[in-house]
Amino acid sequence: MALDLFSPVNLGAISLKNRMVMAPLTRNRVTESGVPQAMNVNYYEQRATAGLIITEATPISAMAHGYPALPGIYTDAQVVGWKKVTDAVHAKGGKIVIQLWHVGRISHPTLLPNGVLPVAPSAIKPAGQAFTYQGLVDYVEPRALDANELPGLVADYVHATKCALAAGFDGVEIHAANGYLIDQFLRDGSNKRSDNYGGSFENRARLLMEVTKAVVAVAGADKVGVRISPVNPFNDMHDSNPQALFNYVASELNQFNLAYLHTIEGDMMGKENTFDFDALRKLFKGAYMANLGFDKVRGNAAIASGHADVVAFGVPFLANPDLVERFKTDAPLNVADSSSFYGGTEKGYTDYPFLNA
């Protein structure tokens, strides 16, 4: 029998009832202290029929924030808040992992402790504006991290992982994509370092490998995934040789026997690219999660062909809490209200109708 989106699968130690993954979706709807609240519990619980939920990107420390109203995973109160989410998802038979996030230079002093500068591999100001509590403001030039600060950064990932396990998550995903801190180290458009963390592929990937090794030591490799975005220019990102760089990254990650590799297969801005994602997928020996613009037909084709083991859906899950059932029955989909994507109330968050409503 041919595999499809509705076939069960194991991602490491995480058993999925289907191959439809709810992608991480930033929604900016928690308290200023980063604690998930009742409507966040409801939002994730509604979508527990997904084979796997990946939470919204979640800062690993106070220095990791880059937007208002984000949840964190580094204080006791945040652990308690997230435990309510994981309990609700598990009660519905779902699985959920948390995405561990450090935004790096994509921040602003008004969002950081004591108004300090954001940090980055190199002191390069990104184009664009930061979304702050005061509105949109130009990004600032970040402070380049000293090499002797990086062990402390790795320790923040370890602490966040311990908090995630205490909160009842089935695993963690290391966010190394979309122009945030680890991706800033990976790509040479944002990394101009001359030390052991810059220059060669090995050096630019060093931080990702150190973080992955440390997180795996805490959670177990079979509960850890990594997310990458080889050609996504979001947050003013580019690289001179993305195919060679990310082929190297995928190959090096094999040493950890991870639960999965989560890849954004293209340019979120909609531009064409020539990156060979099939080649990348073949280099990675573990389970592979494909993401970007998939619908039911393309998702089933990716599974059936062996290109992907699971497929992540973003906006479709945002607007359709029962997306699995709608795909199974070829029911029409709710249309997403883009004006309510970021920030706000239950409107455009937990009020999308179910088929049987």
Task: Give the residue numbers marked as catalytic.
Answer: 180
Total-model pTM:
0.98
Q: Is residue 44 part of a domain?
A: yes
Instruction: List the domain range (segments joined by +) for residue 155.
Output: 9-340
User: Which secondary structure element, helix H or strand E, spans residue 80, and what is its range?
Assistant: helix 76-91
User: What CATH number does the domain containing 333 carry?
Assistant: 3.20.20.70
**Is 352 inside a domain boundary?**
no
What percentage of the chain reaches a pLDDT higher than 70?
99
Q: For residue range 6-46, what is the model confidence (pLDDT) as tens digits?
A: 999 999 999 999 999 999 999 999 988 999 999 999 999 99
Please tell me the distance from the alpha carbon of residue 116 to that of residue 353, in angstroms, as a whole number.
43
CA nearest neighbour of 167 among 35, 284, 322: 35
Quick one: pLDDT band at residue 271, thresholds 50, 70, 90? confident
Q: Is 2 contained in some domain?
A: no
The full DSSP string for 262-303 is: EEE-S-TT-------HHHHHHH--S-EEEESS--HHHHHHHH
| In a domain? residue 71 | yes
Could you give the number of structural domains in the chain? 1
Any domain includes 334:
yes
Report residue 269's pLDDT band, with 50, 70 and 90 as the boundaries: confident
User: Is residue 319 in some structural domain?
Assistant: yes
Whole-angstrom CA distances from 87 to 252, 255, 290, 349 are 35, 32, 27, 20
